[in-house]
Chain A
């Protein structure tokens, strides 16, 4: 009987360990430092951004049509906010085994072809995406730098119209960063959007 109980307990633990429960960083949480390979071949850590006011961290990829729909808007965010101390940091969390178009060499080619000025890192073991509780691409986390401690200030979508930037009348990320630059908290700090599910490694 005890054996059975232990066995069910084990099953329980294994079940929950194997499933992403809706955890991950919430607004207000401090993010643990991480280091990943950038498309320039160098390792880049979150702590390398300690001199910035914050970071617009975006889980993104080459292959998702929604990421592609947002590509120019992501580049614009970097162009508009890098000089204000909020650069874009894109992270590709997809398992290249399941999504060959997201392999590292493909990322390098994609960044070049599209003239990326922002960093584009590969989360090869998916540990960063798991820590953040990222679920889809593109999925944004605006981080505010508090003397070297990066705190989550906004989680969600870039704006409210994936299809058409001109038709978006709520620019969530832009508004959030502008609020932070004025020393305020974002009025909207959590949104949801349809996106491509992250291609997790097969268990």
Chain B
């Protein structure tokens, strides 16, 4: 092993504990497929952005829900501009987000907002809860309080 290799090896070892997921950049077709996919689990899809104060404030509830509830899949749809991908990735690392983060790079908003939900004005935060097993869904356009997510999910499970 020469010097360079040792250095590389050390960097590799030291770098690993800092592993964090990276946001996946997607187009609307991927989101549409997600929304309509078959799933045994309840899907919670949250629309947010790193610059959106109320979104960042409610994120811990989504994190907690994902960590504590095996029957729920949480997806975090970032509406940050794709140019800010580094900022989103740094945010994921800092907040230790483990739910999948998908950055929706689709600027022609008017072409897809209604396809998520017709009641959506386009303001964020907004959250879509889908119970694919029962075919029920619920869309809310506001900042959620602690415990509200659990209530929404319970409403769809009856």
Give chain A's interface residues, CB within 8 Å of chain B.
22, 65, 135-136, 156-157, 160-164, 167, 170, 191-199
Given contacts A65-B51, A163-B81, A192-B114, contact A197 B124 (CB under 8 A): yes
With the chains together, A157 CA to B122 CA distance in Å?
A: 10
Q: By the criterion CB–CB under 8 Å, are A160 and B124 in contact? A: no
Q: Which of B136-153 contact A (CB under 8 A)?
A: 141-143
7 closest pairs, A vs B, by CB?
A135-B121, A197-B123, A136-B123, A191-B110, A192-B113, A193-B109, A192-B122
Q: By the criterion CB–CB under 8 Å, are A194 and B79 in contact? A: yes
Instruction: Please name all residues of chain A whose beta carbon is closer than 8 Å to the beta carbon of B119 when the two chains form the complex.
Output: 22
Apart from A135-B141, A164-B107, A197-B54, list 19 A-B contacts with CB within 8 A: A22-B119, A65-B51, A157-B109, A160-B108, A160-B110, A162-B107, A163-B107, A170-B108, A192-B109, A192-B113, A192-B122, A193-B110, A194-B113, A194-B124, A195-B123, A196-B52, A197-B125, A197-B142, A197-B143
For residue A161, which residue of chain B has the nearest CB? B107
For residue B105, which residue of chain A has the nearest CB? A163
B61 within 8 A of A: no
For residue A191, which residue of chain B has the nearest CB? B110
**How many residues of B are in contact with the other chain, CB < 8 A?**
23
Q: Is the interface of B mostly helix, strand, loop or mixed?
A: loop
Give chain B's interface residues, CB within 8 Å of chain A.
51-52, 54, 79, 81, 83, 107-111, 113-114, 119-125, 141-143
With the chains together, A135 CA to B142 CA distance in Å?
A: 10
Instruction: Please name all residues of chain A whose beta carbon is closer than 8 Å to the beta carbon of B113 when the two chains form the complex.
Output: 192-194
Looking at B51, B110, B125, the one whose CB has the most chain A CB atoms below 10 A away is B110
With the chains together, A157 CA to B107 CA distance in Å?
A: 12
Q: By the criterion CB–CB under 8 Å, are B107 and A160 in contact? A: yes
